[in-house]
Structure 1
């Protein structure tokens, strides 16, 4: 018993400057024998794995470990998820440029063709156009066309990502309507729109032509109404469940709401008096086994099991996505490392440095308490090494 206690205990620093002996309490979540069926559409936005032994320029041209990156997608597919590919979770615009995103999209679409039931949608934006180089709406339109055409030419479906360049040059809600009208009318298949709040990307402040949520909502609904035959749904990431419900109530019949609310996803996915949301979430990258189990239980009508499994992941998600929220990718990759999906904790553009050791210690504790540590012994060993290297104790 004493040996077991030593194995399951780790010394961790706390926010108040003290040190504690933390004892693991979690139990790994069992994997399904086959990908389960859900009664919600569930996309997991997936990260990319760096290759530190080829990474000579992590800021300008980060090297990607494509084998491990694709293996992680197989992990998500095996749990029943669709994948939202080349999105901000993959560090689009914050470490992964358009050239890297093209390679990621090509590889993932090719990989999916060999996996029964595998599905994904791909982020198409304007990130190869520097916002400072955008002079007109036509510049933004051409940038969107380039990326949409690439996704479609490779056999993919598009998620129309929010555009920093459009946020810079647009002067009114009508400018947004004009750009979205032009792109959606050209789209081969139905598109998922992307409403990403400024907490995820400060350069998107005032998106849709207003800082007022109500005015922005009016603009979004008008765009969807005008282009209903080309819009599958919209992902909303404002970290405010009341705003998501307000959007959900106004969506035309047949247009889906995808929650991107990494603070309130459990409640928004479950049935309520105002309906429910489907999911397109970055946190599902980190808590995939737990989310898969919970969604499978919900599909069987077992709401108690759904809440029991998914609710404990919410405090973990709130920690990972705490302000500055755009650095949440560091926590996602940290957990991928702890859980053995990669052999190192490095990221494109060195983004592992975006959070401090105390943040990662809290992520470790909350992951354990949410049963997210899939291999506790491995996670414990790696966490001990991480604390020793980064904290010197």
Structure 2
């Protein structure tokens, strides 16, 4: 068996030998400038401190050196960083105390190199002991987190709120809350529409059971406050709905695709416009994403498609149902690529995907050309198999 051949779990509980492709990894070497034709953010994960308690329900303890180094890796590739969002396990292990510290530290790192940074501001610090949320308590909670993001020098992303979804009674309540918030922000913000595949607690967001019915209300809110909105991130995993909203946006307001299934076509766009990008999958495929967007800058759409095409099967696998466990795949690939010392996550979420799922992610990452050091990836995959009791 060669150094690049490994026995991986396959269909029916069997082991099948797999040999990695012997080719250079996709993407640029060294620092590159941000792409010119599209604004692009990669939503970054956090690295757990393996020596601290990071079990389910425990306060998050981060490996700050690895967490911040990963952000510099994304910036080096010309991508902006979207921090403290669902990819960083908001609502799935990352508590507000750790989140606030993450925002402050990432803000300082971004300022030090003049890099693009947006950070999530939500309501997840509202404790159950405070009683049921109200519209006023939601507004106050949002304002507290917005201040932390703005003080850190980052652009806020006004994240979708579970508390608001629980207490709002219709579209007018969403208009009231967002209207109040947008009146007090210091500069333009990014709105955030997260579908139920990512968080079932957000069912009925914007006051409609069917997301398609919410599009006119969302578009009207954006038109009313366009001067205070940089864009809206849409993660509905429905390309047609995204394009419908995109076509209704006023000039100067971006549609940031969060569609980790159909991002190549949405970013490329059509005769009416295109989507920019704020994607969790970009953290997993950052070198390929950087190369594809720079190809688009030069007008080489064939190369753009060629670079993105093999990443789509990997993205669809990482974000397969239950979609909210996609963070495990992001951290797994970061570990394979040497961006963190171990495959551990806050909340113990590394156990959220089984070994056959991870083995397929390994194969697809190789096919996509995003394993930057195949020998290291194979060695680490062997460690995981051995820990699981898999013997060839």
Measured against the shorter chain, the TM-score band is over 0.9
Q: Relative to 1, partners in 2 of residues 1:70 and 1:15: Cα closer, same or farther, differing over 3 Å?
A: same
Q: Relative to 1, partners in 2 of residues 1:275 and 1:315: Cα closer, same or farther, differing over 3 Å?
A: same
How far is 1:54 from its partner? 2.2
Paired with 1:299 and 1:130, the residues of 2 have a C-alpha distance of 46
Which aligned pairs between 1:81-230 and structure 2 lie closer than 5 A?
Answer: 81-115=79-113, 117-130=114-127, 133-230=131-228
Paired with 1:88 and 1:40, the residues of 2 have a C-alpha distance of 22
Q: Which runs of no fewer than 5 residues in structure 2 stay unpaired?
A: none
Paired with 1:268 and 1:30, the residues of 2 have a C-alpha distance of 21
How far is 1:253 from its partner? 1.4
* Residue number in structure 1 paired with 2:26: 29
* Residue number in structure 1 paired with 2:377: 379
Q: What is the RMSD of the two structures over their aligned residues, measured on CA atoms? A: 1.4
Give yes or no for contact 2:54–2:347 (8 Å, CA) kept in 1: no
Paired with 2:61 and 2:249, the residues of 1 have a C-alpha distance of 41
How far is 1:385 from its partner? 1.5
1:312 to 290, 310, 324: 310
Paired with 2:55 and 2:323, the residues of 1 have a C-alpha distance of 25
The superposition leaves residues 120-151 of structure 1 with CA deviations (integer Å, 9 ceiling, x where unpaired) of 01100000014783331001111111111121
Give yes or no for contact 1:245–1:274 (8 Å, CA) kept in 2: no
Q: Which runs of no fewer than 5 residues in structure 1 stay unpaired?
A: none
Say if 2:5 is the partner of 1:17: no
Q: Relative to 1, partners in 2 of residues 1:131 and 1:51: Cα closer, same or farther, differing over 3 Å?
A: same
Paired with 2:366 and 2:221, the residues of 1 have a C-alpha distance of 43
Q: Relative to 1, partners in 2 of residues 1:56 and 1:289: Cα closer, same or farther, differing over 3 Å?
A: closer
Give yes or no for contact 1:36–1:296 (8 Å, CA) kept in 2: no
* Residue number in structure 2 paired with 1:252: 250
Paired with 1:72 and 1:386, the residues of 2 have a C-alpha distance of 22
TM-score by length of 2: 0.96
SS in 2 for 1:80: coil
The total of aligned residue pairs comes to 388
SS in 1 for 2:230: strand
Give yes or no for contact 1:26–1:373 (8 Å, CA) kept in 2: no
Paired with 2:177 and 2:190, the residues of 1 have a C-alpha distance of 15
Paired with 2:269 and 2:216, the residues of 1 have a C-alpha distance of 25
